[in-house]
Amino acid sequence: MDINGASAIVTGGASGIGAATARQLADKGARVVVADLQADRGEALAHEIGGVFVSVDVTSTEQIIDAVNTATDLGPLRALVNSAGIGWAQRTIGKDGEFESAHSLDAYRKVLAINLVGTFDCIRIAATAMSRNEFTDTGERGAIVNLTSVAAFDGQIGQAAYSSSKGGVVGMTLPVARDLSAAGIRVNTVAPGLIDTPIYGEGEAAEAFKAKLGQSVLFPHRLGKPEELASMVVELLTNSYMNAEVVRVDGGIRMPPK
């Protein structure tokens, strides 16, 4: 699918994998809406790539609709990348045997609200707009790529909430792709492994930690680069025969219990 001249939305697009994806989409001629809560980074990136920044909390349907309307003003919305998400780590029960120290349900609900429900809300709103598009020469109206995590498959100790949210995205991929097939919209999901993003911090200590972490990757023995993930995202958006798939991009790692 040719995205030159079309609009695209990247949630969580101000940094990390989202930012790398926004740059690569712009390189292919897409008019990118950077949808994020990080205004300074988002506006700077949008200026760099000739796109538009929109402040979006993916738990707000109204803000998602604003982003979609902004995109359709730029051109037909052909691409959505769901990269927004948060992490969380807490064991299911506490060490003291008290009910109060068990995993926070508020935290569990928040992680699912952002990572899972927010992703689905973006899909349903963006796909509605895509369904109004004219068909491309390849018979498509649009394509969607979700970012999940290898934690969907190899959840570690303390990742009950996070893995639930990411596993839900994996689980919805096929049925949503089936739902949207009649509208000419493809849906795929990418599951990143250990990726070098700002979450690890900066400085010598951070670099040493990342190097050690990279040794656990099957091959190559390093963290993945955001650009390597972005290239897979763009491939899934533009390859007209890729649909309803979940692709691990992880250097072959299988995460240990902790």
Q: Which residues are catalytic?
A: 162
CA distances from 73 to 5, 28, 86, 234 (A): 12, 19, 29, 22
State the maximum Cα–Cα separation within the chain, in Å, rounded to a whole number. 62
- 33: alpha, beta or left, given left = phi > 0 and alpha = psi -120 to 50? beta
Q: What one-character DSSP code corresponds to residue 116?
A: I
CA distances from 44 to 159, 187, 252 (A): 33, 29, 34
Residues 6+ away with beta carbon under 8 Å from 235: 242
Count of positions (residues) in the chain: 258
- The encoded tokens of residue 80 equal 């959505």
Q: DSSP letters along 61-93, please?
A: HHHHHHHHHHHHHHS-EEEEEE---------SS
Distance from C-alpha of 12 to C-alpha of 82, rounded to nearest angstrom? 7
Asked if residue 6 lies in contact with residue 212, where contact means CB atoms within 8 angstroms, the answer is no
CA distances from 238 to 25, 73, 144, 176, 188 (A): 10, 21, 10, 18, 11
